[in-house]
Amino acid sequence: MLFSSISFLYYFLPLTLVFYFAVPPRFRNAVLLLASLLFYGWGEPKYVLLMGLSVLSGYGSGLFLEKYRGGRAGKTGCVISVGISLSFLLYFKYADFFIENFNKVTGAELPLLRLALPVGISFYTFQIISYTVDVYRGEPAQRNPVRLAVYVVMFPQLVAGPIVRYSDLAGQLADREHSWQGAAWGIRRFVTGLAKKILLANQFGELCGAFRASEEKSVLFYWMYAVAFTLQIYFDFSGYSDMAIGLGRVFGFHFLENFNYPYISASITEFWRRWHISLGTWFRDYVYIPLGGNRRGRGRQLMNILLVWMLTGFWHGAAWNYILWGLCFAALLTAEKLWLLERLEKSRLLSRIYTLFFVMAGFVVFHAQNLGQAVSDLAGLAGAGGIPLVSAEAVYCLRSFGVVLAAGGIGATPAVRAFVRKISENAAGKRVLGLMEPVALAALMLVMTAYLVDGSFNPFLYFRF
């Protein structure tokens, strides 16, 4: 089930809210768990059992690790628990990648498994690992299996994050406050995220689709595609995060922010502090620091950065272009750490141009179906292969999508937020905003509903990762 669907917006979510708030507080976790299982099983009922086994494994591991933490048995148990969680992910997401590359290297003809990737497995696997490692490090184990299951499978952030650490949510699973003010804030945040997805990300996706289908490639078209996908993945993923954070607040949960206007960054280092914050934090706390971080000398630190970013790329997908994407960012981050960052600080304008250029080039590699297509797309940006600078189809698409591209460019900066804050600084402006906001949100919902009724299937990009 998708957030951006009629069935979710007008049937599933209202019914879930009715049942959730109708029952006594002690039963609300159970209602949320049942709703989450229905949400997940709506499209993939066969994988509900897999998710249940993952939760049970994490639950049992937590009890064991609390009892034996600090000793050899606890350390061994932690390694085994992480291994079990990763084994599910490796089997479903990476088995065919390893088989295919083994066949290429050895000449063997082992058949591919061709398994469907369970939606959200990359996210809930990391959340289970977060729980077991946190328990091993000293966090009390969760003895209520329903609460742990809610943490892992809660539908607002189940399929595409943000990745929520157990230590940040443990207290809220046991006791959380609900208020009209919090629910209103959550609804505003949800509608904003939905608008990002339907009114912006989906339009950029259409432009990317037109580029791929075109037989009149040009340098202009390649750059339009690079800009469009850079905006699409931002509004798609940050829109989903907004919806997850908003829904979480309606149910009384406070999820941490996942994006902070990454495209205004003045370095790649800053960009990754603003983009997919929960993933970067997870790799820092559960991979980079345990490997030694920066505590064992510069050489070991750079090796840790390389390993973390190779894994970050591989986490996004079982293909070489994802690994290349991660390694490219590892190289840029290493260069900044060694000498480039000091030079970038001398010019904020040039540093922002440098950052946007490499981010866009990186996303071109990221979006490619394979390494060959990634190289071809990068060559197209440089005008290689004798392609023209401009084509008639590129000009037509620029005219068709020019307004939405401009809106996306502005929306990816804090300009709109700053404008709203400026208006609300005085009492009159604040009253006007208070009156206009409900009308604007209702109008947005009507427009988006029309898009959904008239539109086609529009999954979130991160579903595939």
CA angle 249–276–142, rounded 5-degree value? 55
Please tell me which residue in 178, 254, 276, 316 is annotated as part of the active site.
Answer: 316
Provide DSSP, 313-346.
HHHH-SSHHHHHHHHHHHHHHHHIIIIIHHHHTT
- φ/ψ (deg, to 5) at 136: -60, -35
Hey, what amino acid is at 120?
G
Provide DSSP, 421-432.
HHHTTSHHHHHH
**352: helix, coil or strand?**
helix
- φ/ψ (deg, to 5) at 45: -60, -30
Q: How many other C-beta atoms are found inside a 10 Å radius of the C-beta of residue 323?
A: 20
Tell me the HSE value of 457 on the side-chain side, using a 13 A CA sphere. Answer: 4
Provide DSSP, 87-127.
HHHIIIIIHHHHHHHHHHHH---PPP--PPPPTTHHHHHHH
Nearest to 413 by CA among 356, 366, 363: 356
Contact 93, 121 (CB under 8 A): yes
Contact 163, 127 (CB under 8 A): yes
Contact 160, 460 (CB under 8 A): yes
Residue 276 a catalytic site member: no
Distances (CA, A) of 284 to 186, 303, 430: 29, 14, 41
**294: helix, coil or strand?**
coil
Cα separation, 249 vs 243, whole angstroms? 10
Active site residues: 316
